[in-house]
Structures are given as C-alpha cells and as structure tokens.
Amino acid sequence: MKKIFYYMIASIMCLSSVGAIASIAEAEVEEQNGTPVQNDLLVNQDSGIRFPGLEQPRYQLMMMGHYIGISDQESGTLPPGSKPTLTYPGNFEAYDTHVRVYDTIHDNIQPKHIDVDTFINDTDEEQVFTSISRDEVIEESETSTITQNYSLGAESNISFDLIVNASSTIRFQADFNKEESKINSHRETFTVPAQNTKVPAHKKYKLVIVVSRMSTTAAIKLTSKIKAKLYFAETPNSLWSRNIVNGYHDYKLAVDWYPELVPNGFADNFESVYNISDALLYDGGFGHVEAVYGTDYNVRTIDVTNGEENAVIVNEQKLELVRQ
C-alpha cells in the first residue's frame, strides 16, 4: 500500500479572550480501502449496548478518530479536499492481556471459637491436664464477581494472586467472559496438637482455640494493550490516520476545545502509559473479589469456675496449626 506522510501545523485557535493554543500533529495518508460502518452499530451504541470483546474498543477508537476529524474541520486544519471519516481503526492489535488488582482492603471479621477441652481440678493441689490431639475443620471461601465482561475466550479466563498479608497470597480464578459471581467454599483441616494445662486447686478451666478471621476485598480489571491507527479524514481515494497515542490525546483536546461538537466518553477505559508510544492500555472487564480466611490461631485458657458468664481469661498463646 502506497503511503506518504502529511504534516499539519494547526492554526492558532483562540479559546478565550485570554489566550490561544497551537498544536502540531503528524498524520499518515493511505489508499482508501475501508469498510463502510453499518448504521445499526451506531444505534446499538447510542442505546447503551456494549459490543462484545474487542468490538467495543474498536468502536470507541473509530469514534475518537471521527471526532478528531470534526474538530480539525472546525479549526480549518483538515487535509485539503477531505472530510471527517467514520472508519474502523487500522492495524488493530490487542496483546498482553492481564488482570490488574487494586483498592485492596483488609477487614477483621467475627473470630471463630472452637472448644477443645474442659479440665476440673477437685483436689487441693495444682494438677496438670493434657488435651488430646485432634483435627478441626475451618471454612474458607473465595468469591469473584464480574460486573462488566470482556469476552476474549480463553484469554479472559485468567488466574491471579491476591495478596492477603505480608507473606501469603490466595490464588483466584476469574472468568471475564460473562458477568456472574462465583463462590469457591472449601474446608481446611488442621491438626491441633495436645496441650498441657496447669489447673490450680478447686478450679475449672476451659481450653478454646480462637481463630482470627479476615476478609480481603479488591477491585479487579482485565486490561489489554492495544495498537491501532485512528482514521480521522477521507477523500474518495485516501484515508488519513493518526498514531493511537497521538489520536487519544488529540481527541481529549477536541472535547475541551469543541464540547458542543465533540461528545465526551469515547476515551473511557483507555489510558496512556508514559513509556509506551505506540499503544494504549484498555480496561475491558471489571469486577471484584473477596477472600475470607483464617489468619491467626490462638489457644486460650479460660477460668470458668464461677460459670461461663463470669469467665476470666487466664492465658493465651499463639498456636502453630498443621494444615493437612
């Protein structure tokens, strides 16, 4: 395909009585070979319907290019003999799809108490009692909720780690192909080793394991890098385009310059990265996750000689449980 380069120096546009802005943009022209856009696509988008998968960012990039052309037409900087075009972006490529985890919050929730044993010393001397080693089961769960799908097939069914504390992560599986909530509940079995407990004369002690529990929540989004060129002008034989990063910034400027002509919103979910000059990040899917799990396990010795309602904590120490 034959290409030439066209350099435009935009005329100085007075935006207010105070000052003016001048911009220089680089564009590329190529032989016209675009596919006409069907009107029903525009009607669907105007009705608030999102297109599946990569059709949504393609549509948004097309509209960004279209309104760049309208802005250039208004400012008198459109290529000579051309008009704004409505053409899907060229050389469109999505790659490096991955999950981004952010806004992580840790909250303590109601601890779980597990009764282990009760020791009664009816003698006049201190006695040492030993509990029996036993297994205990603790419920844990991971929930993932997708609120906006980004259907890319296998690429949208993705695993990632959620950091729950300084030394632990929980593995999540999230499917961005559809909007739904999935709960993975499971039981973890721990072995509680035998405990020696000194009980004073005529006292009744109770051993309890206190399981501290935490809920970790986080927002997630499925992001792709996208390369493309944005078509903004056409003649019967030619299409004019901008680099996607330049086009992204030019569209945002057009929104500021001509709010009555250029609607806001087509750059939503796109963002530029300072060290990438030929691609944008596109946040296609959104959701959130929650993990409920045990964090610390303490064995608590309680004096219940005068009844449960008058219980007094005698001792508490961290317990290293063995996960089976």
Claim: this prediction has a pTM higher than 0.95: no
Q: CA-CA-CA-CA torsion for 93, 96, 102, 106, nearest 10 degrees?
A: 150
User: Is residue 23 very low, low, confident or very high in pLDDT (cuts 50, 70, 90)?
Assistant: very low
Specify the length of the chain in residues: 324
Question: Is residue 46 scored above 80 in pLDDT?
Answer: no
Q: Mind listing the pLDDT tens digit for each residue in 220-241?
A: 999 999 999 999 999 999 999 9
pLDDT for position 296: 83
Beta bridge pairs of residue 226: 94, 280
CA of 135: how far to CAs of 114, 282, 316, in Å?
Answer: 11, 48, 20
Cβ contacts of 88 within 8 Å, gap of 6 or more: 34, 35, 37, 58, 61, 62, 231
CA dihedral (160, 164, 166, 167) positive or negative: negative
pLDDT for position 183: 93
Are the beta carbons of 16 and 1 closer than 8 angstroms? no
Domains of the chain, CATH where assigned: 3-97+225-282 (no CATH), 98-220+288-323 (2.170.15.10)
User: Is residue 13 very low, low, confident or very high in pLDDT (cuts 50, 70, 90)?
Assistant: very low
Q: Mind listing the pLDDT tens digit for each residue in 118-137?
A: 999 999 999 999 998 888 88
Q: Mind listing the pLDDT tens digit for each residue in 145-194?
A: 999 999 999 889 999 999 887 778 888 999 999 999 999 988 888 888 88
